[in-house]
């Protein structure tokens, strides 16, 4: 168990991700919502005591399904996010309050455990958004508040107004550039760090060909994920390098008696300052595999061995 930042909750190292749970055009329809709820509850039973979602995931559908999944688990914490317009409710002061109230309704909760700015709107001063986020804590609508997908300058601007409980960034063995700047700065600010994309969108979980049609929009990815992550991991000019890196991680994990997913998550959790990782899936077997990584301890030599040759997109 780890404490999120200076004043945040104590959470399990691996949390569940609710993005896929929403189904929809991004991940394809759910086989059934009941099966997704059951899969998530498998993770809670295995020890994951938090789940991350957002209002923009399947236009709120993810929050509704997450709400159903956590209903019998009062000790499981729910982390969600407000998004700028037009995808989300908006991040102006009044919109932040309205978004939080909408998430509470969909999640069927009285208070949001961690509420995060999904990404900033450059038409709205980040100071206005963050002041409104802090106001949610004062009003009892959220226990803790954090940021996601922001720059170091944005983080500092918010920290000057009030404490930032958490920063959510992308991080994995195949993508470390955000870790490089965020971990030392968050240590100074006593801000917890949560990492999304720890398995490089399935590449480190055994799903090498998962998103080869991102260019055509076949998975309904928004511009951010098409431009950033397709070209980072799946474009033709990086396929060979990425494939080689994944093969090396798989081989190193096998030597340790682990799956690539377990080794990759354990590596990320071993980075100083990383509080937790978000591992999303609708498959109960994958969820159990991911959650089990929270109990894996790697030696310094094993960490270096996994890192060697694995960096692709810094």
For residue 13, name the pLDDT band (cuts at 50, 70, 90). Answer: very high
Region of poorest pLDDT, from 19-28, 74-83, 162-171, 202-211: 202-211
pLDDT at 296 over 50: yes
- Is pLDDT at 313 greater than 80 in this prediction? no
- Dihedral angle sign, alpha carbons of residues 160, 165, 167, 172: positive
Q: Is 81 helix (H, G, I), strand (E, B) or coil?
A: strand
pLDDT mean over 1-20 = 96
| 54 CB-near residues (< 8 Å, 6+ apart) | 18, 19, 62, 63, 80, 81, 83, 88, 118
Report the chain's mean pLDDT, rounded to a whole number: 92
Mean pLDDT of 185-212: 86
Instruction: Report the alpha-carbon distance of residue 60 to residue 66 in Å, rounded.
Output: 10
CA separation (Å) from 88 to 4, 24, 57, 154, 227?
26, 16, 9, 20, 20
Q: Which CA distances in Å does 87 have to 20, 55, 204, 242?
A: 17, 9, 29, 31
Q: What is the rounded distance in angstroms from the CA atom of residue 230 to the CA atom of residue 299? A: 32
CA distance 188 to 178: 16
Instruction: Compare 138 and 206 and report the one with higher pLDDT.
Output: 138
User: Which of 16-20, 216-220, 224-228 is predicted least confidently?
Assistant: 216-220
Please name the residue that has the structure tokens 């994309």. Answer: 197
E strand or H helix at 52, and its extent?
A: strand 50-52
**Total-model pTM:** 0.93
Mean pLDDT of 85-111: 97
State the maximum Cα–Cα separation within the chain, in Å, rounded to a whole number: 54
């Amino acid at each position: 168990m780890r404490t999120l930042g200076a004043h945040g909750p104590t959470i399990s190292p691996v949390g569940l991700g609710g993005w896929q749970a929403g189904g929809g055009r991004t991940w394809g329809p759910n086989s059934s919502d009941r099966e997704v709820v059951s899969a998530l509850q498998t993770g809670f039973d295995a020890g994951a005591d938090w789940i991350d979602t957002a209002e923009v995931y399947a236009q709120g559908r993810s929050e509704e399904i997450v709400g159903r999944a956590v209903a019998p688990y009062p000790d499981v914490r729910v982390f969600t996010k407000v998004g700028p317009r037009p995808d989300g409710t908006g991040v102006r002061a009044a919109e932040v309050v309205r978004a939080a109230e909408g998430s509470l309704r969909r999640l069927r909760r009285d208070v949001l455990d961690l509420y995060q700015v999904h990404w900033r709107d450059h038409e709205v001063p980040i100071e206005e958004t963050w002041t409104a986020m802090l106001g949610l804590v004062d009003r009892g609508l959220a226990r803790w508040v954090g940021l996601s997908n922001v720059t170091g300058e944005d983080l500092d601007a918010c920290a000057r107004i009030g404490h930032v409980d958490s920063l959510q960034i992308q991080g994995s063995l195949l993508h470390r550039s955000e870790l490089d700047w965020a971990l030392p700065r968050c240590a100074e600010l006593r801000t917890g760090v949560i990492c999304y994309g720890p398995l490089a969108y399935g590449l480190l979980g055994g799903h090498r060909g998962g998103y080869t049609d991102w260019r055509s929009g076949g998975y309904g990815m928004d511009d951010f994920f098409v431009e950033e992550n397709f070209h980072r991991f799946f474009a033709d000019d990086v396929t060979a390098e990425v494939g080689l890196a994944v093969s090396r991680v798989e081989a190193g994990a096998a030597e340790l008696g682990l799956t690539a997913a377990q080794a990759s998550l354990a590596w990320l959790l071993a980075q100083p300052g990383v509080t937790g990782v978000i591992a999303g899936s609708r498959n109960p077997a994958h969820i159990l595999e991911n959650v089990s990584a929270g109990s894996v301890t790697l030696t310094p030599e094993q960490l270096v061995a996994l890192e060697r040759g694995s960096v692709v997109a810094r």
